[in-house]
Amino acid sequence: MSQKPEDFFKHVISHSKEYGYIFQSSEIYDGLSAVYDYGQLGVELKKNIRDYWWKAMVQLHENIVGLDAAIFMHPTTWKASGHVDAFNDPLIDNKDSKKRYRADVLIEEHIAKIEDKITKEVEKAAKRFENFDAAVFLSTNARVKEYQDKIDAINARFKTALNDNNLEDVKQIIIDLEIVCPISGSRNWTDVRQFNLMFSTSMGSVSEDANTIYLRPETAQGIFVNYLNVQKTGRMKIPFGIAQTGKAFRNEIVARQFIFRMREFEQMEMQFFVKPGTEMEWYEYWKKARLNWHLSLDLGADKYRFHDHLKLAHYANAACDIEHNFPFGFKELEGIHSRTDFDLKQHEQFSGKKLQYFDPELNQNYVPYVVETSVGLDRLFLSILSSALKEETLEGGDTRTVLNLPPALAPYKAAVFPLVKKDGLPELAESIVKDLKFDFNIAYDEKDTVGKRYRRQDAYGTPFCITVDHQSLEDKTVTVRHRDTMIQERIAIDKLSTFLEERVSLKSLLKTL
């Protein structure tokens, strides 16, 4: 069933709530803006995604170890990292609607609209010509070239304005492009200002002695300040990585896209420490490895693309995003950054402690360079949930809502049903659950018709439904129904565990990497 993207996005949000995936934080008090809670199914999916990332990073790499650093850190950390002075977003207000926007996002959305026009031209031409060659068309069509030149010109001007911190010109770009506020429809903009995204609080009970400290805006700094602890106690040899998952906090200016942009969110980051001069090799390596990891989820290769950064952050010498095609278009899912030796050098300078590595092969000390992979767990969750959610029309005109989640990530791996609530079927079904529950998260359901129970599990994303019927009492077999194909097969009860293990374990997914 085709739906407008904005309607589909609403459907994702309502499905998340209806089935216990995601609730708005403190909903009974009308919610807290851009803060969300994960419900009974959401917490399982989130945990499974985190586990898959962790195992792919730490368990499959001998030279990557984990860390769990505290959210609070010494305030000087954030001076050293540059966040106190430079962790800003350019904001702009529309004077008529009083709505606030990120100036860079307004410009990027304008560019995305021009890109859409190019896509439409290509689609139109593909319909018109047989043997259509998109590459030839893109390079020869005058209208497409005009659009592309426009995009290049905006990008070039925008990049210069950002690099020079020329906020007046950022505003002028918005005016020149005739960008209007989507709410008021007016071009009555304020000046562009920088806004620091860090949340602060105070530590200590006596107000005069209290220190201003920050809620970490990224998990990476916890890794940097522990670099030497881990390297020495873990006897790590370069190249090696430290992986961490945990909460991060940003006072986002605009937070209107559900769990895509939250004020409290979770990051999964890995800092890979390398010999200076080898960082570009490792940057390419991690770009490929991370894209591969996303592709292994089998949600569609066309849903991912790389986007090189126009403006490099103050610490990076190369950076790109893996973008995902969310219900509202291609947006950043994961960042891969070559962070040079910036962070470790800054921490050396601010702490007065050496953070070097003695390289036995070179017989020399140096501050390692760092390649970072940084993905938002909540964004990843949204990318998976929205790619998996389908409305299907079945033979006979009936419809069903199904979450085609990768089986290894699904909250429940299987649901067990007794066909009827008598004749000893519930007891046999319960004994199957008892047996499987040590290895798998299993649902048990005996309410309503089996058809209704199938639909419920489809909406949860449960890959397999196991039905116990009268034949099961005689021959110790059950019906296993596959979520995606709806095919049913008969399987011996004592083979269920192996059957599931092969199809729903993280191992089955990890082996594809």
Amino acid at the residue 5 = P
Q: Whole-number minimum distance, CB 339 to ligand ATP, in Å? A: 11
Q: Whole-number minimum distance, CB 304 to ligand ATP, in Å? A: 13
Q: Whole-number minimum distance, CB 103 to ligand ATP, in Å? A: 13
Instruction: Point out the residue whose Cβ comes nearest to ligand ATP.
Output: 376
Which of 48, 374, 404, 479 touches ligand ATP by CB under 6 A? 374
Q: Whole-number minimum distance, CB 292 to ligand ATP, in Å? A: 17
For the purposes of burial, counting CB atoms within 10 Å of the CB of 497, is it exposed (0-12), middle (13-18) or buried (19 or more)? middle
Q: Would you say 144 or 248 has its CB closer to ligand ATP?
A: 248
Do the beta carbons of residue 372 and residue 270 sit within 8 Å? yes
SS3 per-residue string spanning 151-211: HHHHHHHHHHHHHCCCHHHHHHHHHHCCCCCCCCCCCCECCCEEEECCCEEEECCCCCCCE
Q: Whole-number minimum distance, CB 474 to ligand ATP, in Å? A: 53
Which window, 125-133, 233-241, 282-290, 369-377, contacts ligand ATP (CB under 6 A)? 369-377
Q: Any contact of residue 252 with ligand ATP (CB under 6 A)?
A: yes
Which of 279, 378, 445, 458 touches ligand ATP by CB under 6 A? 378
Distance in angstroms (rounded) separating the CA atoms of residues 157 and 310: 11
First to last CA, the chain: 33
Question: Residues 456, 459, 463, CA angle at the centre, nearest 5°?
Answer: 90
Which of 324, 379, 456, 481 touches ligand ATP by CB under 6 A? 379
Q: Quote the tokens at residue 62.
A: 């001998």
Secondary structure element (H or E) that encloses residue 300, with its range: none
Q: Whole-number minimum distance, CB 225 to ligand ATP, in Å? A: 18
Q: Would you say 333 or 389 has its CB closer to ligand ATP?
A: 333
Q: Whole-number minimum distance, CB 405 to ligand ATP, in Å? A: 19
Give the x-and-dash track for 327-346 against ligand ATP (CB under 6 A). -----xxxx-----------
Q: Any contact of residue 246 with ligand ATP (CB under 6 A)?
A: no
Give the x-and-dash track for 189-218 against ligand ATP (CB under 6 A). -----------------------------x
Which window, 176-184, 370-378, 400-408, 440-448, contacts ligand ATP (CB under 6 A)? 370-378
Taken as a whole, the chain contains a residue count of 513
Q: How far is CA 123 from the centre of its chain?
A: 29
Q: Whole-number minimum distance, CB 48 to ligand ATP, in Å? A: 18
Q: Whole-number minimum distance, CB 184 to ligand ATP, in Å? A: 24
How many residues bind ligand ATP, per CB under 6 A? 16
Q: Would you say 375 or 415 has its CB closer to ligand ATP?
A: 375
Q: Any contact of residue 376 with ligand ATP (CB under 6 A)?
A: yes
Q: Whole-number minimum distance, CB 323 to ligand ATP, in Å? A: 9
Distance in angstroms (rounded) separating the CA atoms of residues 494 and 473: 13
The neighbour count for residue 307, using CB atoms within 10 Å, is 14
384: nearest Cα among 441, 311, 461, 452: 461
Q: Between residue 258 and residue 287, which ones bind ligand ATP under the rule CB under 6 A?
A: 261-262, 265, 267
Collapsed DSSP state (helix, strand, coil) of residue 416? strand
Q: Would you say 246 or 463 has its CB closer to ligand ATP?
A: 246
Distance in angstroms (rounded) separating the CA atoms of residues 242 and 236: 10
* Count helices and strands in the chain by DSSP H and E runs: 18, 23
349: nearest Cα among 107, 79, 155, 26: 79
Q: Would you say 330 or 366 has its CB closer to ligand ATP?
A: 330
Q: Quote the tokens at residue 346.
A: 């800054």
Residues forming the site for ligand ATP (CB under 6 A): 218, 250, 252, 261-262, 265, 267, 332-335, 374-376, 378-379
